[in-house]
Structure 1
Amino acid sequence: MATTPTKDASSPPGSGKTFFGHPRGLATLFMTEMWERFSFYGMRALLTIYLLSGGPDASKGLQTGGLGMDLATATAIYSIYNSLVYLLAMPGGWLGDRVWSPRKTVAVAAGTIMVGHLTLALPGSGTFFVGLALVALGSGLLKANISTMVGHLYKGPDDPRRDGGFTIFYMGINVGAFFAPLAIGTVGEKVSWHLGFALAAVGMALGLAQFLIGSRNLSPESSKVPQPLSPQERSAWLRKGFTWLAVAVVAYAIIVLSGHFTPNWVMIPLTVAGLIIPAGVLWRIKRDRSLSTGEQGKMSGYIWFFVAAAVFWMIYDQGGSTVQAFGTNKASDSVLGLSFPTSWYQSLNPIFIMALAPVLAWFWLRLNRRGSEPSTVVKFSVGLAFIGLSFFFFLIPLFMASNGSLVSPMWLVGIYLIQTVGELCLSPVGLSVTTKMAPEKYASQMMGVWFLAVTAGDSVTGLLSIAHVGLNSTGVVTLEAALAVLAGVAVFMYRRRVRDLMGEVH
């Protein structure tokens, strides 16, 4: 990436060398995030179709060598994996704050992700699930800490470069996410599944290498543990951790030895935990008697946003499972005579984000200058309406393919485009309102709470799939679409009540 050629590359933080006018450490974190997202989204583009390959719901010439699962099981695994990534962001942030420091946690996370992808590259279902667990763990550890390190590069929240720095950083997410399916997806789908997973490991290895080399440009603050555990706290946490681990080992040993073990013994507890933990966290914060009346009101208002976001992500994340499977099995794999791997569908969302985010930001700014910019509540309701509209739109190709014919891939393009518009209405606003409505006592934890909305939404999808609800049937797609639209209408109808609870935050 281009930098100003005024200093030697080894110049320390705070010297004259910059990255597009920002601290040099931003380049290190940008590249780390880009390669991590490259490996993450590349593997995710292959996940559903690899699970389906060789099974009853795979068709249209997918190469063999996958795990041969039906669509319900594949969707459940995909959803559980997604929910775990966001669930583990909270303990990841805790480790960075109290045990390892953000910098060390990111290094450990990157190494864990790389090992996970290498494990996925090995044949066998046992090694596959170990690898998937390692990637989820590493991604959770990295997610909160690397964003914290970006903040450390600037002189407090009032630094005028701060927002621009985060904008550049998040571009790394979408650049990596766009190129990943094109490279890893093509190799995995057309050459070898395991070679594709190995390529994801190479991407993470590049990200880890440049992070370690460029870490001298990071803020010294990133190497500090903000609130280190006392020896007594460390002993207590280790004792609790080993106790729960022992309980789990004994319980599952009994289940396995008795001959009753099935995959549901793993999948159901994980999906239930993905619902109970978010609800428990919100309940604990809401019931905290040390919060002021104003903070209590804001938390009541925030619960509306959380539930709405969970409904949104429940549908949105099916873009990598239900919609991806439909594109693989029911849509043509060529446009204007040019064939393409179906994993390329996962590149549509990041390219749409990069194209539409500046347009939408300009649109909101223009409305603001005219005094007519929608409130946060209205933007949320619009995001829900769009995600519901995307599944109403999905019904058209579902009906067209019901007679066995292949539909145009442009229907998939339309679905992902509508979902991206909804995401841009809801996701950035959700991040902003989370920081603004957070009680002072929980300011550093509330971003993890926002991620738990994704966990809750994906857990619902996982439970429905475990129950073998046909998520690709017209009836279920209609119900989900209607649920999202009705949720959007409900949020809009009660916007004044929610805004009253938000206090001065609008």
Structure 2
Amino acid sequence: MASSLTKDAAGNSGPQKTFFGHPRGLATLFLTEMWERFSYYGMRALLPLYLVAPGGLGLDVPTATAITSLYMALVYLLALPGGWFGDRYWGPRKTVAIAAGVVMAGHLSLALPGTVMFYFGLLLVALGSGLLKANISTMVGHLYDGPNDPRRDGGFTVFYMGINIGAFVAPLVIGTVGQNVGWHWGFALAAIGMGLGLLQFLAFGRDLSPRSSEVPKPLTAAERTVVLRKGLIWLLIAAVFYGVVGFSGSFTLSWVTIPLIALGLIIPVAVLARMKRDKELTGAEQSKLTAYLWFFAAAAIFWMIYDQGATTLALFADGKVDNQVLGWEFPVSWFQSVNPILVMALAPVFAWIWLYLNRKGKEPSTIAKFAGGLMLVGISFFVFLLPLTDSSGGTLVSPWWLVVIYFFQTTAELMLSPVGLSVTTKMAPAKYASQMMGVWFLAVTAGDSVTGLLSEAGADLNRTGVVALEAVLAFLAGVAIFMYRRKVKALMGEIR
């Protein structure tokens, strides 16, 4: 845990221990998030490979893609109830501690033999990741003296580095162990990583803000009764439904995956529709919400393609990419480390470019950045068509093709994702200010759910026709947004 002795930024007398000039609690949250991302991205790197491997579950590619897409969709979908638990029931700090324990238990379940334990563990990891993701960023904000604290943006930048360090190291470590030693050993290693994160979170909890232990808006007794009753009703409905399906002898995995994937599309639409029908919103807020629908749809298309870096591209690499360098063969899971290292290398460059263009009065608008991100992610799949065609005759293609594809996707991410987070907070109606970040994550859920449904329908996402169609869709969506930028800007009001 790196720290430095500096004077406290709030002006307290005497030297205070800080973490690179930030509150000491940032180190605790940095390491917790780093280890959680280590477990998540390690799992993401191994999951599709394990699902198709003869020594794994031996599933076909469309089914493996559907399951992996569902897993990623659930992580972001569960961020909504995760935020609710933090706000109404446990408080952020307790929720994060419980979530880390759930993630660790999930990976331990994955490390045990048996198909039932595998799917149970997968569900636990998704649930824990969703609970943690929604609350740990809130705790970072609690470390600072309000939104105008000059250290705040820098603190989130340091925190973001923890995410990418975990994401970079995980495939190299967990991927190597999982592919070369044993799949279940890889899953166990992810559990150890999350365990380390939980231990230091508990050990150094004294450095966190007292606000993180508070429940901002606790449930009343009446509300608890309503929540419990509704939860039990839905649980009973699910138990009866799956009991009937099970006893009829027609149960297959699709009876679970398809309804859950469908929820990944239904819930985002329902949430946005509920906001649009809200009569309490002012005309200006309704206008901004209409503009936000453009951004949301664009983000869903973007994530549909971007997250295939862990499914379609990963499965393409497994058997069709030459993963040897000077006669040494490296695990194909290592390709999942390309994106995070590119993010760490390119993020400062993009930050400098936007500042430079801003000083010149030429910085692109939010809508232009979104359009550019969509076009670039579309171009990444146009590039994908080249190695996909070359490999059709059984030829192993150069690994540099994947590096180029990930490069285009990373530049697209840096144009769209940070801007999307910013515009979400700026355009949120006052009534839904605390919920809108969860709505932004639902765009990821929607995109991954589309991929899952396509796979469940039997579409082979590694076929040139499907890849070309997705590339054209993303590129044309970017062009359409750019063409209608004046209309969207008018809807956005004073937001730019």
Alignment match, 2:39: 39
Structure 1 position 6, deviation (Å): 6.9
**Separation in structure 1 between the aligned mates of residue 452 and residue 335 of structure 2, nearest angstrom:** 22
* 8 A Cα contact 2:288 2:427, kept in partner: yes
1:61-89 alpha-carbon deviations (Å, 9 max, x no partner) = xxxx2000000000000000010000000
Equivalent position amino acid for 1:53 in 2 = A
Q: Structure 1 segments of 4 or more deviating over 3 A? A: none
Q: Does 1:503 align with 2:493?
A: yes
Q: Measure, in 1, the Cα distance between the counterparts of 2:373 and 2:296.
A: 13
Question: Contact 1:121–1:194 (CA<8 Å) still a contact in 2?
Answer: yes
Q: Is the 8 A contact 1:383 1:423 kept in 2?
A: yes
- Decide which of 416, 435, 453 is 1:463's aligned counterpart: 453
Offset of 1:4 from its aligned partner? 1.9
Aligned counterpart, 2:240: 250
Match of 2:440 in 1: 450
Task: Identify the match of residue 255 of structure 2 among 236, 248, 265.
Answer: 265
Pairing 1:97–2:87 present: yes
State percent identity of aligned pairs.
Answer: 68
**Alpha-carbon distance in structure 1 between the residues aligned to 2:469 and 2:132:** 35
Q: Are 2:159 and 1:173 equivalent residues in the alignment?
A: no
- State the match for 2:197 in structure 1: 207
Which whole-Å deviations, capped at 9, do the CAs of 1:433-491 have from their partners, x for residues lacking one?
Answer: 00000000100000000000000000000000000011110000000000000000010
The structural deviation recorded for 1:336 is 3.1
Q: Secondary structure at the match of 1:18?
A: strand
Matching residue of 2:273: 283
What amino acid is the match of 1:130?
A: F
Shift of 1:124: 1.3
Q: Distance in 1 between matches of 2:444 and 2:493?
A: 26
How far is 1:16 from its partner? Answer: 1.5
Counterpart of 2:319? 329
8 A contact 1:39–1:200 mirrored in 2: yes
Alignment of 1:405-484 (within 5 A): 405-484=395-474
Q: Deviations over 1:69-115 (max 9, x none)?
A: 00000000000001000000000000000000000000000000000
2:331 is matched with 341
Deviation for aligned residue 1:2: 2.3
User: Counterpart of 1:58?
Assistant: none
CA distance in 2, matches of 1:188, 1:137: 22
Instruction: Tell me the distance in 1 between the aligned counterparts of 2:94 and 2:15.
Output: 23
* Contact 2:66-2:453 within 8 A present in 1 as well: yes
- Counterpart in the other structure of 2:359: 369
> Quick one: distance in 2 between partners of 1:337 and 1:351?
24
> How far apart are residue 338 of structure 1 and its match?
2.8
Q: In the TM superposition, what whole-angstrom CA distance separates every residue of 1:357-405 from its partner, at most 9, and x where no partner exists?
A: 0001101111111000000000000000010000000000001101111
Higher mean C-alpha deviation, range 332-341 or range 400-409:
332-341
* TM-score, scaled to structure 1: 0.96
Measured after TM superposition, the shift of residue 5 of structure 1 is 4.2
TM-score by length of 2: 0.98
Q: Match for residue 26 of structure 1?
A: 26
Rounded to whole Å, the distance in 1 between the matches of 2:169 and 2:178 is: 14
Across the two proteins, how many residue pairs are aligned to each other?
491
Q: Is contact 1:83-1:456 (8 Å) kept? A: yes
Tell me the CA shift for residue 3 of structure 1: 1.1
Tell me which amino acid in the other structure corresponds to 1:498: V
Structure 2, unaligned runs of 5 or more: none
| Structure 2 counterpart of 1:230, one-letter code | T
CA contact (8 A) 2:264 2:445 kept: yes
- The residue type equivalent to 1:379 in the other structure is K
Contact 2:312 2:462 in 1 (8 A): yes
The CA RMSD over aligned residues, in Å, is 1.2
Say whether residues 1:301 and 2:291 are aligned partners.
yes
Please give the secondary structure, in 2, of the residue aligned with 1:262.
coil
SS at match of 2:2: coil
* Residue-by-residue CA offset, 1:8-58 (whole Å, 9 max, x unaligned): xxxx9x98211111001000000000011111111110000000101xxxx
Residue 103 of structure 1 contacts residue 149 of structure 1 at CA under 8 Å; is this kept in 2?
yes
Choose the corresponding residue for 2:208, options 213, 218, 233.
218
Work out the CA distance in 1 between the residues paired with 2:266 and 2:480: 24
| Pair 1:162 & 2:152 matched | yes
What SS class does the counterpart of residue 96 from structure 1 fall into?
A: helix
Question: Which of 136, 160, 179 does residue 189 from structure 1 map onto?
Answer: 179
Residue 213 of structure 2 is aligned to residue 228 of structure 1 = no
Question: AA paired with 1:90?
Answer: L
Q: What residue in structure 1 maps to residue 99 of structure 2?
A: 109
Q: Secondary structure at the match of 1:16?
A: strand
State the 1:340 CA deviation: 0.7
Alignment-derived partner of residue 16 in structure 1? 16
Letter in 2 for 1:432: S
Q: Determine if contact 1:76/1:463 at 8 Å carries over to the other structure.
A: yes
Secondary structure of 1:305's aligned partner: helix
| SS at structure 2 position matched to 1:17 | strand
1:384 aligned partner: 374
